[in-house]
Structure formats: C-alpha cells, structure tokens
A = this chain, B = another copy of it.
Amino acid sequence: MKIAIMGCGTVGTGVYEIIKNTPEMLLKGAHGEEIGVKYILDIKSFDDPAKEALRITDLNLILNDPEVGVVVESMGGLKPAFSFCMQCLNAGKSVVTSNKLLVAEKGEELFAAAKEHNAAFRFGAAVCGGVPVIRTMFYGLAANEITGFAGILNGTSNFILTKMIREKMSNAAALELAQKNGYAEKDPTDDIEGFDAARKTAILASIVSGRHIYPNEVHTEGITAISSEDVEYVSGVNAKIKLLGRGEKQPGGQIYVCVSPAVIGADDMISSVEGVYNALKVYGSNIGQIMLYGPGAGKDATASAVVADVIDCVRVPGFDTAYCWENAVENAVLPYEAYETSLYVRGYANDKKRAVAAIRERFDDVCFLTRANAPENELAFITDKRPERELRAALEELDGFAAANVIRKI
C-alpha cells in the first residue's frame, strides 16, 4: 500500500522516517502488506534528496493515483488541511491526521465524507501524542459505557505547574524555562490559556457523548492565574494543582466539559504525572477507571501513533462505524455553572475575623488552609460541594472579602 504525506514538518518527517527506515517493523500489523511513501506534498523543498524526490505540490497527483490508499495529513491548521482532507476522502482515500484543530472543528464533515466514500478517518495522534487513548476509548472500552474522563492533555502547562510545585518557581519563571527548553512557543497563549487542551477535550467529549462537541462549547480556563501562593496552600493539604480537561456524562443526557486548573489529592494517580507527560483517566461502566500515561508530544512518539493508524487503515480497510461520532445537537453541553463541585478560594479580607465568620456562615464544612509567612489579611479555604453557580454567588456576597483566585477541587 502506498501512502502520501501532506505537510512534512516535524510529525510528517517522523512518519516518513518510520516508514522509510523500519518497513519490516510494520509488516506484521499490516498483515504482510508493505507500506511505502509515494508522495510528500509540501511547498517547501527539502535538503534530503530522497525526500525531495517524492515531493509534489499538486494534490491532484495524490487524488488521481489509484496506488495511494492512505493519506497522512500533518500540515496543521484548517487551511488548506480541511479542504485537502475532504478531497482525499471524496476520492476514496483513507485519511490519518494528527491535527487536533481539524478534528475538533471539522470532525462532523470529515466523518460524513469518509462514510460516504467508505474510507477510514483516524486521528489517534491528535490527543496525548503517542499514547493510544483514542483507540482505547473506541475499541478497548467498547464493552463499557464511557461515563467520563479527566486528563492532563497539555505538556507545556504541566511542565510549568510541575516546576512551580517541585522547585517553587514562579509562574513567569517556569514559563520562561519552558520556552528556553523548547516546550513552549514564543507566543504561549494556546498552551497556557488552555486552548490546546480545549481542542483535545472537545475530541474526547465527542467520543464520550457520541455527538460532535465543539471547542467553543468547552468552558476553558488556563493556568496564568495560578500563583506560588496557591501552590503552597494546596500542598499543605497534600494536593496538587493540575490543568485538567474533563468530561462527564450527566443524568439528563448532557455532558459536562471543562478545561481548568484543578486541585487534586496526592492519592489520585494523575497527580503524579509530571513535566511534559500527558495522562488520561477514562471512566467506564464496567471498568471503573483506567489511566493511560506517556509522552504527549515529540516527533517519534506522535509519528508512531500516526503510523499505527496507517497500519489500521491497511489491516481493516474502509470506513469504521466503531470509530466515529454523530453530528452535533443543540444543548449537548451542561452549562458549567450547573455542575456540582467544590472550590478552592484564595483572597484577602478587610477584617479577617469577620471574613472567617462570614465564610463559615455561607459555606458548610469549609476547610481553611494555611501556609508559612502568609500576609495577615490573606485567607484560603475549600468550600463544600454544590452547583458552581451557587458557590460563586455566595463568594460574591462575602462582606469584606475579595477572592483573588478560585480553582475547582475534585
């Protein structure tokens, strides 16, 4: 089976190298069928003459070549990736992508085209890089109703939080270090504001709900407001702050979807996930919970997930109704403020005694936290568990207390 690679940056190059350098490794999975790269679609020329010899700039060569069965999309972005993928699917080619934006924004249309032309559309590398979370949810847990998930889906923000927790770095210093190490972009917005995690969360939520959930339906908060004070307070109760993407089926059929920092007890395995690693907990009706852990990025790891999908396309050709979701519906997502949670709150009081009394009056079983050398008027506490809307309203009404940061506790 011949494949084409569209866009040969980091991931595309990784895919090219795995297929070129270790073709015999892929034979078993592909039932003995040899997999080879026939075209690389890219506008930039390559220094490597072997790669350059495969380079094309005209998509039609791929579309019209009956030898090409699978097309890898590793261009990133939506333009022209979406249009190119649609043309490939419409030409009956299977498409494998690592492009989370594409899947999160255009999954509906892509699945429809794939189905119509009996082609596969796979995207295992789009969430958690090399860790096979997508196929595990679709296949490994096929005998479960998946009821929810919680994941560390962005390595950059987890690196920053890890440095803040383990080395008491400030948020700004940890970001700078992440940039120096190449873990964060010069413009880190996508990572630290949670947008990257929100795309992945939308994909996972789509799998869980069986309906397309769009990134703009995911309530999203990043890690920029997390301070060393928060880290310190939380570590005092043997907990950690992690940026989590979460989804949870609700009794009424809606799904709760949220990306935000979360206070997690140290007993929870996911709190042990450090540095740029990713992890995903999946909850199932029969399994209880499982967790998958590993590298969420990196050329070879991500490329190996793409190639595993290519192998699947060869091993099991055609559209796979087990690996898709249905079109979006209205009101699929629970308004996040209706979800029951506890909140960690740090803030400042005019009169500490009066503020403590007011907090105790408004919240049941409130737990006050301590840290060394806190300013006299600083207060931090964890509330009872109620719909978030009620907790936020109660916070607003606290006389002489101004919340500086609020983090969900799970």
- A181 contacts partner chain B, Cβ-Cβ < 8 Å: no
The distance in angstroms between the C-alpha atoms of A301 and B289, with both chains bound, is 9
Write the A89-112 contact mask toward B (1 if CB under 8 angstroms, else 0).
000000000000000000000000
Q: Are A308 and B28 in contact (CB under 8 A)?
A: no
Stretch at the interface among A52-60, A132-140, A182-190: A132-140
| Chain A 253-278 interface residues, beta-carbon cutoff 8 Å to B | 269, 272-273
- Residues in B with CB closer than 8 Å to A304 are 141, 143-144, 284, 286-287
- Contact partner, A139, options B18, B135, B298, B320, Cβ 8 Å: B135
Least CB distance, A263 to chain B, in whole angstroms? 18
Write the A275-314 contact mask toward B (1 if CB under 8 angstroms, else 0).
0000000001111111111110010110111111011100
- Residues in B with CB closer than 8 Å to A273 are 269
- Residues in B with CB closer than 8 Å to A144 are 25, 304
A sample of 9 inter-chain contacts (CB < 8 A) reads A130-B288, A132-B136, A135-B140, A143-B311, A286-B303, A287-B301, A290-B295, A291-B291, A311-B322
| Chain A 295-354 interface residues, beta-carbon cutoff 8 Å to B | 295, 298, 300-301, 303-308, 310-312, 315-316, 320-322
Q: Are B140 and A136 in contact (CB under 8 A)?
A: yes
Please judge, given known A-B contacts A286-B18, A292-B292, A293-B290, whether A322 and B31 are in contact too, CB under 8 Å.
yes
Please judge, given known A-B contacts A136-B136, A291-B292, A292-B292, whether A321 and B28 are in contact too, CB under 8 Å.
yes
- Residues in B with CB closer than 8 Å to A25 are 143-145, 285
Q: Are A293 and B293 in contact (CB under 8 A)?
A: yes
Please judge, given known A-B contacts A31-B321, A321-B28, whether A22 and B145 are in contact too, CB under 8 Å.
yes
- A29 contacts partner chain B, Cβ-Cβ < 8 Å: yes
- A32 contacts partner chain B, Cβ-Cβ < 8 Å: yes
- Residues in B with CB closer than 8 Å to A37 are none
Q: Are B287 and A290 in contact (CB under 8 A)?
A: no
- A404 contacts partner chain B, Cβ-Cβ < 8 Å: no
- A26 contacts partner chain B, Cβ-Cβ < 8 Å: yes
- Residues in B with CB closer than 8 Å to A294 are 287-291
- A131 contacts partner chain B, Cβ-Cβ < 8 Å: yes
- Residues in B with CB closer than 8 Å to A14 are 286
Which B residue's beta carbon lies closest to that of A133? B140
Least CB distance, A101 to chain B, in whole angstroms? 23
Please judge, given known A-B contacts A18-B143, A304-B141, whether A322 and B286 are in contact too, CB under 8 Å.
no
- A142 contacts partner chain B, Cβ-Cβ < 8 Å: yes
Q: Are A286 and B130 in contact (CB under 8 A)?
A: yes
Least CB distance, A272 to chain B, in whole angstroms? 5
Which B residue's beta carbon lies closest to that of A293? B291
Least CB distance, A73 to chain B, in whole angstroms? 17
- Residues in B with CB closer than 8 Å to A305 are 140, 143
- Residues in B with CB closer than 8 Å to A132 are 136, 139-141, 290
Write the A221-257 contact mask toward B (1 if CB under 8 angstroms, else 0).
0000000000000000000000000000000000000
